[in-house]
């Protein structure tokens, strides 16, 4: 049974994420504000509510622990902003990202579409070996709330993309690092499937 940790940047609702993790197979879910005990968990979740710089400030002291986890240790799931922090920098902030992935975070094109991108959009699954998307059908609906998108310099990490003004990666996987631009905890039964898949990865990697 999986023990998961959700990192708290101090902004917003972790309740629904926590209850979704519990509902979908996590035996224990802890909200943590430091990474001192990160090795005790089977999986780490970086949630998707907040702003880039304040979130980076809160997580910066634990960069080493995250780097270590990304290579050998605990699987990490970044949701929305949580995923955006994996990259090198973001137009949302001035601070450097966690640099676990190559690329940057760019604002959606306000000239083409209304921003934020809020609501339900389709997944275009581009890599069928995706662990998070195992058993999820192409064109499934998932729920987005974001103003920024990732521009990845590692094409092979993209598992699914979505179109809104432009086409961008919305599910990424690289080793122990997983990310979704949408909110699986808010994406109905499809989102629950994705969370169960992540928890499955955590159990396997124990």
Partner 1 sequence: MTLAKRIIPCLDVDAGNVVKGVNFSDVRIAGDPVSFAKKYTHEGADEIVFLDINASHEGREALKTVIKEVARVINIPFTVGGGIRSLHDAREILLSGADKVSINTAAVKNPELVSQLMNLFGKQCVVVAMDVKRHYINDSTEKKSYWFEVRIFGGREGTGIEAIGWAKSVEKLGAGEILLTSIDTDGTESGYDLELIRAISRAVRIPVIASGGCGSQEHILEVFRRTDVEAALAASIFHYEKATVNSVKQYLKDNGINVRI
Which are the catalytic amino acids? 80, 183, 185
Binding test (CB under 8 A) with partner 1, winner from 25, 47, 50, 78 = 50
Q: Determine the 3-state secondary structure of 96 from DSSP.
A: strand
The length of the chain in residues reads 206
Q: Should residue 145 be labelled a site residue for partner 1 when binding is judged by CB under 8 A?
A: yes
Site string for partner 1, 60-99 (x = CB under 8 A): ---------------------x------------------
Residue written as token pair 């990865």: 201
Binding test (CB under 8 A) with partner 1, winner from 128, 129, 139, 155 = 139
Least Cβ distance, residue 40 to partner 1 (angstroms): 25
Dihedral pair phi/psi, residue 59, rounded to 5°: -105, -20
CA–CA gap between residue 78 and residue 178 (Å, rounded): 6
Site string for partner 1, 154-173 (x = CB under 8 A): ---------xx---------
Tell me the β-bridge partners of 148: 107
Tell me the β-bridge partners of 184: none
Q: Should residue 15 be labelled a site residue for partner 1 when binding is judged by CB under 8 A?
A: yes
Q: Should residue 205 be labelled a site residue for partner 1 when binding is judged by CB under 8 A?
A: no
Site string for partner 1, 96-115 (x = CB under 8 A): --------------x---xx
Q: Which is nearer to partner 1, 49 or 69 (CB)?
A: 49
Q: Should residue 183 be labelled a site residue for partner 1 when binding is judged by CB under 8 A?
A: yes
Residue written as token pair 């949302």: 92
Distance between the two ends of the chain, CA-based, in angstroms? Answer: 10
Strands (E), the chain: 2-7, 26-32, 43-46, 76-79, 89-90, 103-107, 117-122, 124-125, 141-146, 148-152, 158-164, 166-174, 177-180
Contact set with partner 1 (CB under 8 A): 11-16, 19-20, 23, 49-51, 54, 81, 110, 114-122, 139, 141, 143, 145-147, 163-164, 183, 185-189, 191-192
């Amino acid at each position: 049974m999986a023990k998961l940790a959700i990192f708290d940047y101090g902004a917003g609702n972790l309740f629904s994420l926590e209850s979704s993790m519990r509902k979908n197979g996590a035996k224990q879910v802890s909200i943590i504000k430091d990474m001192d005990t990160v090795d005790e968990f089977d999986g780490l979740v970086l949630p998707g509510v907040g702003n880039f710089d304040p979130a980076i400030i809160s997580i910066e002291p634990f960069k080493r622990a995250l780097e270590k986890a990304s290579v050998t240790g605990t699987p990490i799931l970044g949701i929305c902003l949580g995923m955006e922090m994996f990259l090198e920098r973001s137009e949302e902030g001035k601070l450097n990202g966690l640099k676990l992935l190559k690329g940057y975070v760019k604002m959606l094109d306000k000239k083409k579409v209304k921003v934020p991108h809020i609501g339900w959009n389709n997944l275009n699954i581009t890599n069928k070996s995706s662990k998070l998307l195992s058993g999820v059908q192409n064109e499934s609906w998932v729920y987005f709330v974001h103003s920024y998108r990732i521009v990845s310099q590692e094409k092979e990490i993209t598992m699914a993309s979505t179109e809104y003004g432009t086409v961008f990666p919305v599910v990424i996987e690289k080793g122990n690092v997983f990310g979704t631009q949408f909110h699986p905890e808010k994406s109905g039964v499809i989102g629950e499937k994705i969370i169960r898949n992540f928890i499955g990865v955590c159990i396997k990697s124990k």
